[in-house]
Chain A
Amino acid sequence: MKNFILTTTALTLVASMAFADSHAKTIRMGTEGAYAPYNFINDAGEVDGFERELGDELCVRAELTCEWVTNEWDSIIPNLVSGNYDTIIAGMSITDERDEVIDFTQNYTQPDPSAYLALSMDVDVTGGVIAAQTGTIQASHIASTGATLVEFATPEETVAAVRNGEADAVLADKTFLTPFTEEDASLMLIEQEEMLGGGIGMGLRESDGELKGKFDMAIQSMKDDGSLNALIEKWKIGETF
């Protein structure tokens, strides 16, 4: 019996090594590293956060070797399509406009309401000055309302703009804004929220159907066994599935 177990372990080892060999290509995971708790750079200088843990687990399940790369949000889609990395896993909401340029896996978070962070509760969100990060669903939402939109390259700057009074409020994912209210009593989320986007998914090149299939299956398996929900609760990323 003992021999049998040893042989099978050895066999599976060899098999998995052979399997790994055929997938020698490293999948490069592109992220922004400035959007806690989704993704951020931790004290050790490494990518950390909900998406780091999720991505690592997905790669294990899809039997891929993965590597993390950071890229400015501004150019995160152009650099994907020109092949500098293979996926975007950066808190990117699935929208129709983006779907025309790249492909998305199924969503791995529920649609998260976008909230307004402000210094007072009585902010005029349709006529005031609202900050948002460039190229986000929040920025395009504000552009469609009567409010004046001020755009910033990084999420950090949008919050700083509210602190120093340049903007009346900032519109961003509620999950991103909540930690700021916990830390700084002068900042608060107003009651009004916006439901934007169709949840967050991984972005891939349209021509990369095979990789998309692998990640879709891995996400589905994490949804099925509840491990995705555990991660969502751990990092407080809105509703579970």
Chain B
Amino acid sequence: MTSIDVQNLTKEYGTTRAVDQLTFTVRPGKVTGFLGPNGAGKSTTMRLVLGLDRPTSGTATIGGRPYASIDEPLHHVGALLDAQAAHGSRTARNHLLALAAANRIPARRVAEVLEEAGLAAVAGRRIKTFSLGMRQRLGIAAALLGDPHVVMLDEPSNGLDPEGILWIRELMRRLAREGRTVLVSSHLMNETATFADHLVVLGRGRLLADTSMRDFIAAHSSPRVRLRTPESDRLRGLLTDKGYAMTAQDEGRWTVEGAQAEEIGSIAAGHGIALLELSDEQASLEQAYLALTADDTEFAATATTPRQEA
């Protein structure tokens, strides 16, 4: 009902294909992380979903309808595209009032979202005096104005201080718990790992992955066990016989690639080797992401030189 549906979406600017035959669905009740390096087509896709740019071919709909056909859309969809878009000469309150008025959202709701975004004290100040973090909060307040079922945020944690990052993370988790559809783009993997349940990964405008976070990490990393033992030489010999390589790490720790803790645990127990520590090591989203993009050699050069968003 309130999912975002992208079907064979293609957008060309001149001869550049910003979005290339993209198909995916963003479902309610979870936070979907929208990943990819800068220039992968994330923002373009969001603009296409909002009907701001026209697709070269394909469709993007929300709840089965093109955005432009939704009556008073802020009641259904809230979006933050660019925190700099608010006119610097307006006060934060007037910026939101103008948006609210167009969709017949009561003025009291403006006060509520300003409060929620922690901007109540500066509501009467001109936006040009705001820091990037404050503008980001204002953009998020605008996205929440109509209490929408669908929320799309483009790089919402840009410029936020640690407290702000924590706030936006909790907010997104809460919105998803309330059954809303939440799509959040980011080029920061570790940040995304803290809030996303599902991932849509783009590279050069094409879909690289559309899967749950857990499956994504499992699919793009090999299992690895971390252990500590006083009898490392004996254990290493045993493991080598079984075809595992045991590598020394810092502080007397060892890692075994391609193994699970239960296998190593039972091998050690079977030979009476004491283990002081044994655990499966969880690969990070970042590692999984780099593993995925490394498969695409053409793409690897872009992926391994992360740039800061302008």
Partners in one complex: no
B: residues with CB less than 8 A from A are: none
A: residues with CB less than 8 A from B are: none
